[in-house]
Amino acid sequence: MTTPEDQSTTQLRRSGTPFARGRLPLLTAGIALACTLTLPMIASAQPTPDPDKDLTAKQAQKIERERRVQLAANEANAQRAVNPGDEVPLDKSKLQNLKVGKTTATSDGVKLEMGSFVGLVRFVSADVVKVTIQAAGQPAYKSVAVVKDRIKKVSIKRSKSSSTYTMKTSGVTVRIALNKFGVTMLDKAGRVINADDSRFGSGYQDGKPYVFKKTDKGEAFYGFGEQTKGLNKRGDSIGMWNTDHYAYEADAKYIYASIPFFTGLKSTGAYGIFFDNTHHSMYEMASEADDYYYFYANGGELNYYFINGPKMGDVLERYTQLTGRYQQPPEWSLGWEQSHWGYFPGSKILDVAKGYRERKIPLDAMNMDIDYMDGWRVFTWGKNWGDQNQIDDELESMGVKTIAINDPGVKKESGYWLSEEGTDKGYWATNPDGSNYEGAVWPGTAYFPDFSRADVRAWWAGQLPKLTDKGVDGIWLDMNEPADFVGPNHTLPLNVEFSKGTKQHTEIHNIYGFWNTVATYEGLKKAKPNDRAFVFSRDMYAGSQRYAALWSGDNVSNWDHLKLTLPLNMNAGLSGVPHVGNDIGGFVGDTTPELFARWIESGSFAPFARVHYDNSFQPDQQCQEPWCLGSEVEDIARRYVSLRYSLLPYTNTAFHNSTKDGRPVQQALVYQFQNDSAVRNISDQFMWGDSIMVAPVVTEGATSREVYLPQGNDWIDWWTGEKHSGGQTITKAAPLDVMPIYVKAGSVISTREVQQHTGQNDFTNVAFNVFLGNGKASGTLYEDDGKTEAYKKGAYNTYATTVTTKSNGSMSVSTKKTHAGYASKLKTYDIVLRGDLPVLGGSGAAKVSPTKAAINSSASTSGVRIVKTDAKNNTVTVRVPINTRNVTIAFEGK
């Protein structure tokens, strides 16, 4: 590992240029990489790479390994670094006072002339307003995130006074202050939803675009993509700068992804703001005072979208209409995955997959880390890895898919086709003098593809068959912040250039991974046009959800990080990314049986579920396969992974809902229950889809936990069927093998038989689990082939199930196909009555007995039958031919 001075000096020699404006050589011998941790008196002892020689793969790996060992060793007591090197605060004494002169109505809003600046306030739809301030004569900003900058043409009513210009649509009123530019957004009732703070206003300070907003003391903030700490971000100082932060602290300010979108929630409703700026940006969310917040960027244009609610679901639906939505994933990607940096040779992957099969723990994918490559050269296969075609054949015979890691750094090497082609075609990021920038990653000295260019993305996409032809089914993107072992702050210098020298790293950094994801997705689609592409990435920007799932990077095997996964995933979901997950068990360090068991329980309800752990290169390293930590942990893994697989029909339906309106799969309670003030700061419970609430145990040694049950519903214990009224906190016993799970009363939950992988058996029977609420229940089911893009052309089915009860104790169940487009293999459905069964009317209101259930005679002759009654657990299971839409179940009293 180099010292910070050595790294900076090395990079200066490589680039031949001075430090970029705004980046000072502020790191000294006593301070290690600012993007990670402070490591006093350690870094200076490490070897310095010779800047005049190319690094070999071994040297590069040694540098990074030593850095990682030090970071992990100092993780517990190191001082926290607050920024990645270019966090430049606003000077509030030098803010602008932009006065509006001429106003000109446009077809979608108004143009405001403000001296050398132009303001544009435009309606994207009746509830979405785009606010822009730019230098006069500047061309329109082209966003990578926005797919629909004009959602719907709207009718605008206008009025003007000496001090204000007002525009009103059916959704929102925009009042613009003219004497000092500022906007106020009002709802249909004339209440202020969101307003600029006129003490500070909006504009540019030394080239930095900024916006100050008023806030109420009770206002909460959610989203911001991938963030540490708790769910509600009020009071936080947040930075957006994608940072390779190995073993990041549970309160780290910068990690891997930047999504500059958040939702504000007041007592009167919700709104969203998307600050579409790719530069390093900051968000002071009432962190300085209780009555205002603000956001700004180190460069670029002042360009943001205001999105009206009043429900949080409305905000997210409109945001994802603007930036795009996640597509229905292949069903196998919703199963369980196993990974480890250190599965070498390839036969080890086969051994682990066989271990899952032998132990009857479901598994759908094995991940290959950098071990499979030839000297960590991308798009290559190592000579000692083994016969990948044979490995893939054996995995496929077990129903296991293969996912391969892929990094952007390309080894600089004569004779390596990718290096030579990229150099010949001029495809690399460059120094200001036009020479190719050279950094270092796993293979040693490396070039970085300029993914901001369409021709480079097409070239990269064309390499994917080198992986897919060997049976690779999905791609895992790593190191695409972009990470650089020898660059300042572990990334490229800010003055490195892209787009043939027209853009700098300052603008491209936060979207480098976005473009890398686009190239990878397009490569998979080209290689397998009709298959659903599965990509997951460590780096994201707004709009990345159109192409990939998100993985939260190199977390740590400790209780703080287990606890962190919950608000991190929930806020990612509230930022338009429904498919998100974490390294189950923790990547860095050794886990414990208790921690791993609790993480498996929680992780079985993460949208993306993968066990992954680091390579410490020590013979006594703790393994993290489910059977490595004892039989009790193995049994817990089998129980909860099997539960995940039984719930796949329900989970598939939740993802389908996300493709329709952007709703999260792993939902913060506040998303559904925003009017219940008690849920605003709950970070350790979540909704799984619309009807299941999960309350993981995230405290070491705990054998019970408090669970809050939101107002407005009764809640039924998944395990016991016990019913509780909402609006209260209960204490639930939770020994090591129990994670509290509750179902919203009035729900129908779809399940199926447990499979060892998603393609093992045809989907011939679905169980509709009925949890009555006030004598009623309802639910939906989505069904398609789970593999192809045919669903986009309507090749899917949806079903709606409705349950009602009568005073005589009979129960009517109606199942209706609400969309028909797929040749289903379903033959039967089961009605599984769980929790409270109906109550007989009349004197005494006798409870019914499951053993006294009977089917009405007409249904009985059509093949409807009771297949199971369980008096102990108070359940009844009725099997129904798929074409039978209405069934009546009668009961006798005890």
Residues shown for the chain? 894
Is pLDDT of 772 > 80? yes
Question: What pLDDT, on the 0 to 100 scale, is given for residue 859?
Answer: 55
Is pLDDT of 745 > 50? yes
Tokens of 172: 């929102």
Q: What is the DSSP string of 466-485?
A: HHHTTT--EEEE-STTT--S
Is pLDDT of 4 > 70? no
Buried b / exposed e across 771-789, counting CB within 10 Å, b at 16+? Answer: bbbeeebbbbbbbbbbebb
Helix axes 312-323 and 648-661, enclosed angle (nearest 10): 70
Confidence band (pLDDT; 50, 70, 90) for 6?
very low
Question: What pLDDT, on the 0 to 100 scale, is given for residue 202?
Answer: 97
∠ Cα 722 726 730 (to 5°): 65
Q: What residues have CB less than 8 Å from 502, skipping those under 6 apart?
A: none
DSSP 623: P
Confidence band (pLDDT; 50, 70, 90) for 506?
very high
Cα 428 from Cα 351, distance rounded (Å)? 39
Is pLDDT of 648 > 90? yes
Question: What pLDDT, on the 0 to 100 scale, is given for residue 848?
Answer: 61
One-letter amino acid at 507 equals E
Q: pLDDT, tens digit, for every residue of 805-838?
A: 887 778 899 999 999 999 999 999 999 988 777 6
Three-state secondary structure of 335-370: CEEECCCCCCCCHHHHHHHHHHHHCCCCCCEEEECH
For the chain, the C-alpha Rg in angstroms (whole number) is 28
Q: Establish how many alpha carbons lie within 13 A of residue 65's alpha carbon, considering only the half-sphere containing its beta carbon.
A: 14
Helix axes 454-461 and 417-425, enclosed angle (nearest 10): 160
Cα 256 from Cα 833, distance rounded (Å)? 45
Q: Which of 793, 801, 875, 866 is nearest to 834 (CA)?
A: 875
Q: pLDDT, tens digit, for every residue of 424-436?
A: 999 999 999 999 9
Tokens of 71: 């970071």
Question: What pLDDT, on the 0 to 100 scale, is given for residue 49?
Answer: 46
Is pLDDT of 21 > 90? no
User: Which residue of the set 473, 478, 590, 784 is catalytic?
Assistant: 478
Q: Indicate the average pLDDT of the chain.
A: 90
Contact 666, 655 (CB under 8 A): no
Q: What is the DSSP string of 516-576?
A: HHHHHHHHHHHHSTTBPPEEEES---TTGGGT-EEE--S-BSSHHHHHHHHHHHHHHHTTT
Q: What residues have CB less than 8 Å from 620, skipping those under 6 apart?
A: none
Lowest mean pLDDT among 471-475, 669-673, 829-833, 837-841: 837-841
| Strand ranges for 752-890 from DSSP E | 765-771, 776-783, 797-805, 811-819, 828-834, 854-855, 865-870, 875-881, 886-890
Cα 512 from Cα 69, distance rounded (Å)? 27
Is pLDDT of 346 > 90? yes
Question: What pLDDT, on the 0 to 100 scale, is given for residue 12?
Answer: 28
One-letter amino acid at 258 equals S
One-letter amino acid at 706 equals E
Question: What pLDDT, on the 0 to 100 scale, is given for residue 855?
Answer: 78
Q: What is the mean pLDDT of residues 214-233?
A: 97
CB atoms < 10 A from the CB of 116, how many? 9
Q: Establish how many alpha carbons lie within 13 A of residue 417's alpha carbon, considering only the half-sphere containing its beta carbon.
A: 6
One-letter amino acid at 811 equals M
% of the chain exceeding 90 in pLDDT = 81
Confidence band (pLDDT; 50, 70, 90) for 875?
confident
Confidence band (pLDDT; 50, 70, 90) for 51?
very low
Q: pLDDT, tens digit, for every residue of 104-158?
A: 999 999 999 999 999 999 999 999 999 999 999 999 899 999 998 888 889 999 9
Q: What is the mean pLDDT of residues 265-291?
A: 97
% of the chain exceeding 70 in pLDDT = 90
Q: Residue 270 — φ and ψ, nearest 5°?
A: -115, 155
Contact 571, 540 (CB under 8 A): no
Contact 514, 144 (CB under 8 A): yes
Lowest mean pLDDT among 324-338, 669-683, 866-880: 866-880
Q: What is the mean pLDDT of residues 29-51?
A: 31
Give me the helices (H) in 617-711, please. 631-646, 648-661, 669-672
Which is it for the CA torsion 253, 255, 261, 265, positive or negative? negative
Q: Strand 410-411: give its sheet, edge to edge.
A: 410-411, 444-447, 439-441
∠ Cα 581 584 587 (to 5°): 105
Is pLDDT of 16 > 90? no
DSSP 802: E
Q: Establish how many alpha carbons lie within 13 A of residue 456's alpha carbon, considering only the half-sphere containing its beta carbon.
A: 22
CB atoms < 10 A from the CB of 683, how many? 19
Question: What pLDDT, on the 0 to 100 scale, is given for residue 10?
Answer: 33
Q: What is the DSSP string of 742-787?
A: EEETTEEEEE----SSTTSS---EEEEEEE-BTTEEEEEEEE--SS
Question: What pLDDT, on the 0 to 100 scale, is given for residue 20?
Answer: 29
Lowest mean pLDDT among 18-32, 283-297, 446-460: 18-32
Question: What pLDDT, on the 0 to 100 scale, is given for residue 514?
Answer: 98
CB atoms < 10 A from the CB of 462, how many? 14
Cα 27 from Cα 4, distance rounded (Å)? 6
| Phi-psi map region of 874: left, alpha, beta (phi>0 left; psi -120 to 50 alpha) | left
Q: What is the mean pLDDT of residues 672-691?
A: 98
Is pLDDT of 509 > 60? yes
Cα 146 from Cα 134, distance rounded (Å)? 18
Helix (H, G, I), strand (E, B) or coil at 210: strand
Is pLDDT of 480 > 80? yes
Cα 293 from Cα 285, distance rounded (Å)? 5
Q: Establish how many alpha carbons lie within 13 A of residue 355's alpha carbon, considering only the half-sphere containing its beta carbon.
A: 15
Cα 546 from Cα 89, distance rounded (Å)? 33
Cα 381 from Cα 41, distance rounded (Å)? 40
Cα 771 from Cα 777, distance rounded (Å)? 7
One-letter amino acid at 850 equals P
Which is it for the CA torsion 125, 508, 134, 222, positive or negative? positive
Cα 213 from Cα 104, distance rounded (Å)? 25
CB atoms < 10 A from the CB of 523, how many? 26
Q: Which residue has the tokens 């009349």?
A: 842
Helix axes 593-603 and 631-646, enclosed angle (nearest 10): 0
> Is 481 a known active-site residue?
yes
DSSP 883: T
Question: What pLDDT, on the 0 to 100 scale, is given for residue 119?
Answer: 98
Q: Which of 255, 250, 244, 245 is nearest to 230 (CA)?
A: 250
User: Which residue of the set 481, 497, 717, 836 is catalytic?
Assistant: 481
What is the value of pTM for the model shown? 0.93
User: Which residue of the set 196, 364, 554, 717 is catalytic?
Assistant: 554
Buried b / exposed e across 578-607, counting CB within 10 Å, b at 16+? Answer: bbbbbbbbbbbbbbbebbbbbbbbbbbbbb
Lowest mean pLDDT among 139-148, 583-592, 691-700, 858-867: 858-867
Which is it for the CA torsion 56, 59, 62, 67, positive or negative? negative
Q: Which of 407, 412, 493 is nearest to 21 (CA)?
A: 493
Cα 751 from Cα 754, distance rounded (Å)? 9
pLDDT, greater one: 842 or 670 = 670
Tokens of 486: 């020898």
Confidence band (pLDDT; 50, 70, 90) for 891?
confident
Cα 670 from Cα 222, distance rounded (Å)? 10
Q: What is the mean pLDDT of residues 604-631?
A: 93
Tokens of 114: 């403000």
Q: What is the mean pLDDT of residues 59-72?
A: 78
Contact 359, 336 (CB under 8 A): no
